[in-house]
Chains A and B, each alone.
Chain A
Amino acid sequence: MRVFFIAILTLFVFTLSAEIILNHDPILSVPQGDEIGIDLEVREGVEAIRKITLFYREQGDLAYKEIELDPGSVSETVFTFSIPDADSYQAGIEYFFQVETNSSEMVTLPAFNPQTTPFLLNIVKPEQPLTTAFILLSPDQEYTDFSRDFVIAVSYFALQKSIDPASIKFLLDGKDASDKAEIYSNMLIYKVGKLAGGKHDFQIVALLQDGSEVKSEKWQMKIVRKNWRSGLNLTGKAVLNTFTAFDVSDQISNENRANLLLTMSGKQKWLGFNGRIYLSSLETENAQPVNRYSLSFLTKVLNVTAGDQSPDYSTFLLSGTNVRGFHSNLHFTNFRLKASYGKSNRAVDGRESFDAGTFATNTLGMRAEFGKTDGFTWGIGLTKNKDEVSSLAQKYIFADSSFTTFAVQPQDNVILGTDFSWALFRSRLLLGGEVAISFLNRNIYDGAMSIEEIEDSLDIHLDLPFDPVDLEDFLVINQYLEPFTPGLKNIAYKTWLRTYFWRNFLNVNYSAVGSSFNSLSSNYLQSDTAVLGINDNINVIKNKLNLNLSLNFISDNLNDEKDVTTKTASYNTQVTYRFNPEVDFRVAFSQNTTDNSGDDDLESSIISVGTGYDWKEWKTAETRFSFNFMNYNNNFDLTDSTDYDYTKNNFVFSARSNFSELPLETMLSYTFSQEDKNDISQNYNSLYLKGILSLLEDNLKPYCDLQLMKFGGDSETQSMLFNLGTGYQLFKQTLLSTNLGGKIFKDNDDKDKDYNNLTWRFKIVQHF
């Protein structure tokens, strides 16, 4: 754990000292069901970034999911992550960013303990009584024939006396289509006519007589137009992305990247299918695969997939690992059976001064579950992971047991687990538990030992009922097998409770992973660690006030095998208040304390205050103003190193305007930061301007932006970034976009570091 502790510290120091500076202004909250885009700004060092990853999880979950993005151009510094399954989340979303540099170093945001003190995004549940007052009359699941022309009809009969008919707006795919709708005082009818095939959404927004806003649920529909594919109901898209960086100043090498994504799905009677191909120029032989291929066939009770998939069996068995092979999921009301077999990749690079690549690991997983998912379920599963010795170049394998770099030795791993879940009160109360045991052989290079070899090695007579060689296909048994001792060392377990009553979402979970428990198929599982997490999210005053409290306690050295025990306690609280639809206010405080029995102590705290105001009275351009202040305070008290104090104050002011008479949207943002690191001070100023035009009935959207950045203090640098680009809807289902960006960097202390860069991006999206 001490190594882990120092690693975290190193990570943090790197974050402060490296030339990569990240900024993120947390979003207050989003309504449940809305799409979620999370922005990360790279203020400095984008050219040194290989990969940016967003880790996210629903509050109360143990494991994080991840989304990777390719680095942007040197001029495109804001990266937006879209949470793909956001509409399924009921609790808030916790997230943090991880940036991997070209030299394999990691930078995270939040910089310190990001897994335990992540950012929090509240999910605001819609005001139920008003939302349900809108009734969808048509399309009707039972009677509407989507292949013919049909109408959308929404009734607000229950609001007839309180709604302001003049304020009723019908939004189709997010655009106001009220002028083509028949609006009555109790119902709205929209004749769909020739709407493009594919998925569409629609919603009604209106004002009540008292001036408050009401929104209907956002309904979705899928329109299938008869064409040559209609027999298969085939839909999909192809996306081509290219990126080129031009070397202007001989400081940064030229770079070309491209990727191609092809997805399709369809249905023929009882058989559905979907396929996905992702090809990237970043695919290399000695690294985790980037390319993805998958083809799935779906029926009412059985799904079969060939290719890449990340199965989710349970926290300890199989989670967050891409397995390229075959996957099946047999699902009935009272019984489900999942199975996966294929190859995953276990990275072994970065541990030494060479780039060894990855082991190809054969992964087999099976899980059976009994019972109804909205009642009581019991599951049992098994996962086996075995490295292929021949998959790694011979020179990188160290079979010698005296060599301590176990990572470059082929391993064998078996995990057995069982779990249960129980849903009560129409799933408002959920509780569950999970327990697993593991066997790990840390070096299978020489294969299994026979009884005679074991007896010779231990110099004793063994009366085993089996020969370990016969069990080699299940688990390789030799001198490198992790001892399986009675007790909790080889066991991992987790219990959890979720309740949702009176707009109060409470989530309590406790997990402990023994020091000898190992799962090669569950990413981010920290051995020898216990975690207690408590999250409470309360919405009161008609969802205007949101209170969130999160407590996390982490402790290692569960079996008292180490000299040093580290305990971390994190407290996170956030209060959000929406005075009215125009004004909101947020204040948040988080504190993280790490207490190490070796007298290394870390303390960090973040205070954040933010407010936003929609100035709708200014009819020329409705403008959203927002202001955020964050204070970071960190104190490291180290025995073997210099004490470390770090303070940072960050102010952000932004304004986003939509002009009513002009097809123009503008953004303005100013940021000021002041940071003190021991006796060294540094400040940062940034001004960002952006304008987006919307022409040819929103089909052409040219834009430009300019950002001026200046660092002052111990080191002084200046940057100017700009972008010119446009998106163009060439045809109904064809979208083109391109971007030309540039950066001019000047270092006042060292002119040799000055550079200028140009980048060009091109993207084409074809839906079908």
Chain B
Amino acid sequence: MKKITIFSLLILLSAAVFANDPVALILKSAGKIEVTRTEDKYVAKAGENLFDKDELVSGEESFAVVKFVDGSSNVKLFPNSILTIETSQENGLLNKKSTLLVGSILAKVNKKTGLFEVDTPNNVVSVKGTEFIVEVNDAGCATVSVKEGVVEIKNKATGNVTEVSAGKKVTENANGEFDFSDNSNSEFDDSTEGEKNTEVMQIELENETGEKETIEIKFEKR
């Protein structure tokens, strides 16, 4: 009994040790990215590591790119999104199960690198190597657009499973049904999306004596 107790303690201890290891890294960020870890909340920047169950909240015109520790997948979090990352180890692979409460993400996943799932309020999106976008609106309905591979969507309430293949897009309506359509490649062009785009407006003023002055206004446009 004593041995079993010690063994159990060791397992718990090792689990605790693993729990203190980072599971992902913020590769790039812009704007305001808030991370909530247990009770603490702070603004994260590029280069910071993320731990299991960390919640990321992106503000207006903000984004973050997250890379998992097994190097298998990148997730780009778009503005006004809330994502919780959760991982577990199985047979030497890292299973990644993220919860997207609202907003949208772009995920690039390598094949045979453990489970990759995105949990939305109504559905679970799971893949085995692909590139896809998941978007959750304020009503909790999901839109999934797939660039490569095949994505499986499982409705939590009905248990129905729908497959979305490359080039297709499905949109969940208020009744929990899916509408299929073709997607456009421009949806996956993430090079500027979410990043600030500065434009300059110049207004020329002239006073009574004829002197001219210019007011320059810089503003960010999406």
Contact = CB atoms under 8 A, between A and B. Distances in A.
Given A184-B21, A187-B21, A155 B69 contact: yes
A138 B67 contact: yes
Interface string B33-75: 0000000000000110100000000000000010101110010
B22 interface: yes
B27 interface: yes
A185 B70 contact: no
Contact of B47 (A155, A157, A191): A191
Interface stretch (A40-48, A144-152, A673-681): A144-152
B160 to A, nearest CB: 35
A150 B48 CA distance: 10
B69 A186 contact: yes
Contact of A145 (B17, B22, B28): B28
A29 B163 CA distance: 54
Contacts of B7: none
Interface residues of B, number: 19
A569 interface: no
Contact of B25 (A149, A189, A191): A189
A588 interface: no
Contacts of A149: 47
A157 B70 CA distance: 6
B116 to A, nearest CB: 15
Contacts, number: 67
B34 to A, nearest CB: 20
A135 B71 contact: yes
Given A144-B27, A157-B94, A187 B46 contact: no
B18 interface: yes
A155 B113 CA distance: 14
A153 interface: yes
Given A143-B28, A143-B65, A155-B69, A185 B17 contact: yes
Interface string A180-220: 00101111010100000000000000000000000000000
A150 B70 CA distance: 20
Contacts of B159: none
Contact of A140 (B17, B18, B27): B27
A140 B67 contact: yes
A48 B145 CA distance: 76
A153 B74 CA distance: 14
A137 interface: yes
Nearest to A189: B49
A129 to B, nearest CB: 13
Contacts of A138: 25, 27, 47, 67
B210 interface: no
Contacts of A67: none
B206 to A, nearest CB: 36
Contacts of B46: 148, 150-151
A158 B112 CA distance: 14
B69 A144 contact: no
Nearest to B191: A142
Contact of A186 (B21, B47, B67, B74): B21
Contacts of B25: 137-138, 151, 153, 187, 189
A185 to B, nearest CB: 5
Nearest to A153: B25
B50 to A, nearest CB: 11
Interface string B133-148: 0000000000000000
Nearest to B28: A143
A157 B17 CA distance: 14
A155 B71 contact: yes
Nearest to B27: A143
A158 B74 CA distance: 18
A259 to B, nearest CB: 43
Interface string A152-164: 0101011010000
A191 B26 CA distance: 13
Nearest to A145: B28
A186 B19 CA distance: 11
A185 B28 contact: no
B70 A187 contact: no
Contacts of A137: 25, 27, 67, 69, 71
A686 to B, nearest CB: 52
Which of A150, A151, A158 gathers the greatest number of chain B CB atoms within 10 Å? A151
A136 B27 CA distance: 12
A141 B61 CA distance: 23
Contacts of A150: 46-47
Given A150-B46, A151-B47, A187-B21, A135 B70 contact: yes
B167 to A, nearest CB: 23
A67 B92 CA distance: 49
Contacts of B20: 184
B148 to A, nearest CB: 16
Given A155-B70, A157-B70, A191-B47, A184 B22 contact: yes
A189 B47 CA distance: 8
Contacts of A135: 70-71
Interface string B179-198: 00000000000000000000
Interface in B4-35: 17-18, 20-22, 25, 27-28
Interface in A167-184: 182, 184
8 contacts: A138-B25, A151-B46, A184-B49, A185-B17, A185-B18, A186-B22, A187-B22, A189-B47
Interface of B: 17-18, 20-22, 25, 27-28, 46-47, 49, 65, 67, 69-71, 74, 92, 94
4 closest Cβ pairs, A-B complex: A151-B47, A135-B71, A143-B28, A143-B27
Given A143-B28, A185-B18, 8 more contacts: A135-B71, A140-B67, A143-B74, A151-B25, A151-B47, A155-B69, A160-B21, A182-B49
